[in-house]
Chains A and B, each alone.
Chain A
């Protein structure tokens, strides 16, 4: 009935259709988890970890050698800075004690110190189209999908996939990432969205809000993922279009993602959300309300 060529053509068309349907379903995250990805991660990640650790060790020796050369100069400078820091520290201790007293005074239900898990970056996304990293901590260490990932400089991203010993983190610069944020000085609210470049967009900020280049953007805590007050980046460019409701703001992230070696995963925040029966958004807004009350 059909010639060989015809059958081949039908087979190719069928294969193409199946392939593209599978990719479409997979891109919408509706494909059931088959476990192949987990097995593949478990097989490839140990190699990545060994390779990253070797590189880090070599880097450490290299940096160590050059560090000794400049250590003498730095030592004198640091001693001066330490003296100044000690002076500030004593002032801050006083302020902390005062803060505790005031919190008690207005019956503030303090949030426990957030528990963090330190993890090493063992791999990066091979493609320039997606911004993710792999870390060497997983479900065995108590990590789950959705946990926030930070460094001392600011927000890094959020865990999107967890295997036994490894996790994948989507960076805030990825196009799939969004963080509810506000401007530290003017308190104008918006959403920080990844652009798949080193810069992010700060969207949905009303034109009436005065924002200037250099303004610091911090997390608002209203997304129920990132705690309030964490640094995200600073404004580098803003465009005001009179025909639009919102401003076009570009921000530079505080974290240098190309030099990321270690990160912290915040786990306490998540547990707190689970324990309470409130919705994450509700809970976060309560926290921010309390914090705002304190600041007032």
Chain B
């Protein structure tokens, strides 16, 4: 339950930070919710996580100017990919997290490219889009492992605090 609230608050914070005026330039946006999806898919095996991934996708689709369903599709496929890879690779491996992060970002950007080509044709794709894609992939090399690490540390701290509070409550009882 604590973990559920932790991830709910974190997702809400990332969602608001990403869509608010905090970010200086529109070109340097990085999808932080994607890291949440990665974390959820990596840490939990329960199928209910799929519902959470779907909800995050719906929230992102509602504020995005892209066609509805693009974030849902990207997140669900990333979830499916990680779930299928989890059986083969060790979770604690940071190289794996890094590789999965880059693949996930490229996958998400490919979805954007796909809807763009389907909606407007090849003429709508500019050189700048490829630069955006490359920048996002390069950013993911640093951002994804770093944010995953920070989330992991935060989660551990929150769980420890909750445990202490629970024990204190028991002692008083």
User: Interface on A for B, CB 8 Å cutoff?
Assistant: 19-20, 22-24, 26-29, 31, 36-37, 40-41, 43-45, 47-48, 51-52, 55-56, 121, 123-132, 134, 160, 168, 170, 174-176, 195-198, 257-258, 260-261
Contact = CB atoms under 8 A, between A and B. Distances in A.
B60 A126 contact: yes
Given A20-B114, A126-B18, A197 B27 contact: yes
A292 B131 CA distance: 44
B58 A36 contact: yes
B6 interface: no
A257 B27 CA distance: 12
Interface string B4-48: 000000001001101111111111110101000000000000000
Contact of A51 (B20, B29, B69, B112): B20
Given A23-B118, A26-B67, A196-B128, 6 more contacts: A40-B62, A48-B16, A124-B26, A127-B112, A128-B27, A175-B124
Interface of B: 12, 15-16, 18-29, 31, 33, 58-70, 73, 77, 109, 111-112, 114-116, 118-120, 124, 126, 128-129, 132, 136
B19 A124 contact: yes
The 4 closest A-B pairs by CB, nearest first: A132-B65, A40-B62, A27-B119, A130-B65
B20 A126 contact: no
Nearest to B59: A44
Q: By DSSP majority rule, is chain A's interface helix, strand, loop, or mixed?
A: mixed
Contacts, number: 140
A204 to B, nearest CB: 14
A84 to B, nearest CB: 34
B16 A124 contact: no
A151 B98 CA distance: 43
A27 B67 contact: yes
Given A23-B73, A126-B33, A44 B15 contact: yes
A258 B118 contact: no
Contacts of B111: 23
A123 B63 contact: yes
6 contacts: A26-B115, A40-B62, A128-B136, A129-B129, A130-B64, A131-B65
B29 A127 contact: yes
A37 B67 contact: no
